[in-house]
Amino acid sequence: MPMAAPPPDLTGLSLAEIAKLAAEAKLPPVESWNPSHCGDSEMRIARDGTWFHQGSPIGRPAMVKLFSTILRREADGSYVLVTPAEKLDIAVEDAPFVAVEVKSEGEGQQRRLAFRLNTGDLIVAGPDHPLRFENKADGTHPYLLVRKGMEALVARPVYYELANAALDEGADPPGLWSDGAFFPIA
Predicted confidence at residue 86, as pLDDT, reads 93
In the chain, DSSP assigns E strands to: 37-45, 51-53, 56-57, 71-73, 79-82, 87-92, 97-105, 112-117, 122-124, 131-136, 139-147, 150-154, 175-178, 181-184
Predicted confidence at residue 13, as pLDDT, reads 60
Domain ranges of the chain: 35-92, 97-180
Instruction: Give Cβ neighbours of residue 157 (< 8 Å, ≥ 6 apart).
Output: none
Cβ atoms of 33 and 83 within 8 Å: the answer is yes
Helix (H, G, I), strand (E, B) or coil at 164: helix
Cα(first)–Cα(last) distance of the chain, in Å?
A: 42
Query: What single DSSP character describes residue 77?
Result: S
Residues 114, 119, 121, 123: what is their CA dihedral angle, to the nearest 10 degrees?
-40
- CATH homologous superfamily of domain 35-92? duf1285 like domain (3.10.540.10)
This model's pTM is above 0.75: yes
Predicted confidence at residue 37, as pLDDT, reads 86
Separation between Cα atoms, residue 43 and residue 93, nearest integer Å: 11
Predicted confidence at residue 3, as pLDDT, reads 46
C-alpha 27: how far from chain center: 14
Predicted confidence at residue 18, as pLDDT, reads 58
Predicted confidence at residue 14, as pLDDT, reads 65
Residues pairing with 142 in the sheet: 133
> Mind listing the pLDDT tens digit for each residue in 72-118?
999 999 999 999 999 999 999 999 999 999 999 999 999 999 999 99
Separation between Cα atoms, residue 164 and residue 153, nearest integer Å: 18
Ordered mean pLDDT values, 10 residues apiece, the chain (186 residues): 49 62 72 90 96 96 92 96 94 97 93 95 95 92 95 97 92 92 91
CATH class of domain segment(s) 97-180:
mainly beta
